[in-house]
Structure 1
């Protein structure tokens, strides 16, 4: 694999990846997968050569970088790509003036994955698009 992760304005490709993972694989209703926040987000695209394999978005709200819509195609799972995408989002947050923490809503089966990357869970489990989630945070300061 020759992976590169970059900021992108190619929302069509990001949406196609998200559709494959969230709508097709996980059964998230299509009308809930995209939202108005996409227009204001910073989007990351992971590519293996020229083939798109993962994506995430970051929303900057006050002193918080909110990471979401993190996905990796099934063919690229288990390679460390998901962790690389999260590390890329954290690096962008660290480089953004005034950002003190990174937050995300993790599917409960992925809590351990995010904990290994330094995130800590807080608050109750909640339903998001029919999937149990829990909020997590990584303090940058």
Structure 2
């Protein structure tokens, strides 16, 4: 695990139709590792939303492994507002501040692509403070999604 890393990641934003086979494989591999295996959560990750989304990949360099990832979900797919989902920092890069960089870049992209629409996320409740520090506020009640507590949060 990398601790106290200050390196800035290089970002690549790609629509699903433009992902290479290798990029798609790497994204799905890490999503399975983090959301299925680590969180011991059996769920259908391939939900057909990916086909309509932009995918943000962060790397330390062009040929380095994926360090951080989100999918940018257009309005009307998950929520009325645009959304950021499948937020992950690869296990080897935890504690590096890459998660914060990832969300800041994701927010920048969403607010640029979909101005004045806000951003809504379905956040795991244990990450409440992380998302609040980025400007998100909870809306509604805590709910169970695949055995994990979540709450919708909005950035306006």
Q: Hey, which of these two has a bigger chunk of strand by percent?
A: 1
Which residue of structure 1 lines up, in the alignment, with residue 50 of structure 2? 38
Does 2:66 match 1:52? yes
Q: What is the CA–CA distance in structure 2 between the aligned matches of 1:5 and 1:112, rounded to whole Å? A: 25
| Contact 1:56/1:67 (8 A) holds in 2 | yes
What TM-score do you get using the length of structure 2 for normalisation? Answer: 0.81
Q: Which residue of 1 aligns with 2:89?
A: 72
Provide Cα deviations, 1:65-108, integer angstroms capped at 9, x if missing partner: 11110011222111111111111111111211445101111111
Count matched residues. 138
1:6 to 7, 12, 18: 12
Task: For residue 121 of structure 1, give the secondary structure of its aligned residue in structure 2.
Answer: strand
Counterparts of 1:84-123 in structure 2 under 5 Å? Answer: 84-123=101-140
Q: How far did residue 51 of structure 1 move?
A: 1.3
- The CA deviation at 1:58 is 1.1
Q: Separation in 2 of the partners of 1:52 and 1:22?
A: 16
CA RMSD in angstroms, aligned pairs only: 1.6
In the other structure, the counterpart of 2:4 is: none
Q: CA deviation at 1:48?
A: 2.3
TM-score by length of 1: 0.89
**Structure 1 ranges of 4+ moved more than 3 A:** none
Task: Name structure 1 gaps, 5 residues minimum.
Answer: none
Secondary structure of the 1:75 match is helix
* 2:141 matches 1:124: yes
List gaps (5 residues or longer) in structure 2: 1-6
Partner of 1:17: 30
